[in-house]
């Protein structure tokens, strides 16, 4: 499941967020915990970061990378974008080496949670380095101990649990915390609006359920994702569902819908070409 593998490298958000309805600015209040310190003082950089993370959560890499690069133009002092961009860079390239070096330099004066986050860059290459690779679960567990309210931390703690059923159970718990404000009081978010995380978590659960053979549940999650998030990746996910089921007619239908919304979507373009040549 190619998309499931791609999905493992998304969703970079471990802090509390607050989308201000009046001015559309995204702010981060780190006073109530030891979160990954994504934000800086530049409001434009913080707003670009919000968009980068949102697209990242929804596996819209082309858009996400553009926003992460823009973040660094506004505020080159931030370490977080360098971690993400290192993972997207060509393996062994000078650009990748630069992002790794910058992330480690810039995190020096930040909190312990942030330093552990950057230390993901020291893990062995493989999987979806640096966020999901050998040894990653141990680091996400340490971050969750330091800050159980961090939602990226909870997400990746869930995502890297070895057992598939336990992984689903913990991801459902995260969804309940955000959607219903129900769960462990120590883990519930204390500030910020995390509702934008609901659609991509539902999408993730769709892949998780497909992985264990619960295909009806998987399809229901993909249907819900389309209803909640009208963007190209929601149609791409359903296209992949049908492709994996051997239904090329419907797969092509949904991949083409994805391309109607975003013609540059690399995954959908690749799959349309693949189906047309099979």
Question: pLDDT (tens digit, 9 = 90+) per residue, 110-145?
Answer: 999 999 999 999 999 988 889 889 999 999 999 999
Task: Write down the residue that tokens 């373009």 correspond to.
Answer: 269
Going by C-beta distance under 8 Å and a sequence separation of 6 or more, which residues neighbour residue 20? 26, 27
Task: Kindly tell me if the per-residue pLDDT of 66 is higher than 70.
Answer: yes
More confidently predicted of 100 and 23: 100
- Of 276, 262, 264, nearest in space to 234 by CA: 262
Q: What is the pLDDT of residue 249?
A: 97
Average pLDDT score over residue span 95-104: 98
pLDDT recorded at residue 190: 80
Q: What is the pLDDT of residues 1-31, one digit of tens each?
A: 555 545 544 443 344 333 333 333 444 455 5
The 3 state secondary structure assigned to 120-177 is HHHCCCCCECCCECCCHHHHHHHHHHHCCCCHHHHHHHHHCCCCHHHHHHHHHHHHHH
Burial environment of residue 127 by CB neighbours within 10 A (0 to 12, 13 to 18, 19 or more): middle
| Averaged pLDDT, 142-166 | 95
According to the model, what pLDDT value does residue 29 have?
56
What is the band of 212 on the pLDDT scale with cuts at 50, 70, 90?
Answer: very high
Cα 243 vs. chain centroid, distance in angstroms? 23
- The secondary structure of residue 79, as a DSSP letter, is S
Per-residue HEC secondary structure of 221-235 comes to: HHHHHHHHCCCHHHH
Read off the pLDDT of residues 166-200 as tens digits, 9 standing for 90 and up. Answer: 999 999 999 999 999 999 999 998 877 889 999 99
Least confident of 41-45, 60-64, 91-95, 227-231: 60-64
Separation of alpha carbons 44 and 31, rounded Å: 21
Helix (H) or strand (E) holding 2: helix 2-7
State what percent of residues in the chain have pLDDT above 70.
Answer: 88
More reliable by pLDDT, 192 or 85: 85
Q: How far lies 103's CA from each of 1, 51, 84, 151, 174, in Å?
A: 31, 20, 10, 21, 28
Residue 23 neighbours by CB under 8 Å, 6+ apart:
none
Separation CA 105–CA 237 (nearest Å): 37
45 closest CA partner among 86, 88, 75: 75
Q: Is pLDDT above 60 for 268?
A: yes
- The pLDDT of 214-236, averaged and rounded, is 97
């Amino acid at each position: 499941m190619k998309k499931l593998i791609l999905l493992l490298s998304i969703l970079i958000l471990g802090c509390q967020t607050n989308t201000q309805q009046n001015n559309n600015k995204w702010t981060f209040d780190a006073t109530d915990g030891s979160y990954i310190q994504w934000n800086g003082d530049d409001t434009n950089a913080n707003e670009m970061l919000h968009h980068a993370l949102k697209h990242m959560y929804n596996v819209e890499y082309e858009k996400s990378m553009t926003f992460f690069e823009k973040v660094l133009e506004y505020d080159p002092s931030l370490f977080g974008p360098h971690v993400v961009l290192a993972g997207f860079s060509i393996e062994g390239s000078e650009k990748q080496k630069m992002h790794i070096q910058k992330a480690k330099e810039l995190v020096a004066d930040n909190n312990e949670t942030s330093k552990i986050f950057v230390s993901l860059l020291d893990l062995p290459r493989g999987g979806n380095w640096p966020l999901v690779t050998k040894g990653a679960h141990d680091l996400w567990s340490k971050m969750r101990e330091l800050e159980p309210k961090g939602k990226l931390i909870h997400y990746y703690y869930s995502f890297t649990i070895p057992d598939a059923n336990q992984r689903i159970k913990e991801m459902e718990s995260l969804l309940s915390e955000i959607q219903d404000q129900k769960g462990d009081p120590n883990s519930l978010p204390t500030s910020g609006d995390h509702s934008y995380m609901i659609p991509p978590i539902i999408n993730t659960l769709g892949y998780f359920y497909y992985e264990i053979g619960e295909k009806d549940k998987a399809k229901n999650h993909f249907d819900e994702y389309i209803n909640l998030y009208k963007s190209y990746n929601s149609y791409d996910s359903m296209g992949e569902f049908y492709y994996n089921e051997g239904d090329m007619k419907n797969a092509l239908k949904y991949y083409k819908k994805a391309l109607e919304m975003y013609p540059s979507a690399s995954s959908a373009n690749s799959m349309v070409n693949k189906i047309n040549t099979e």
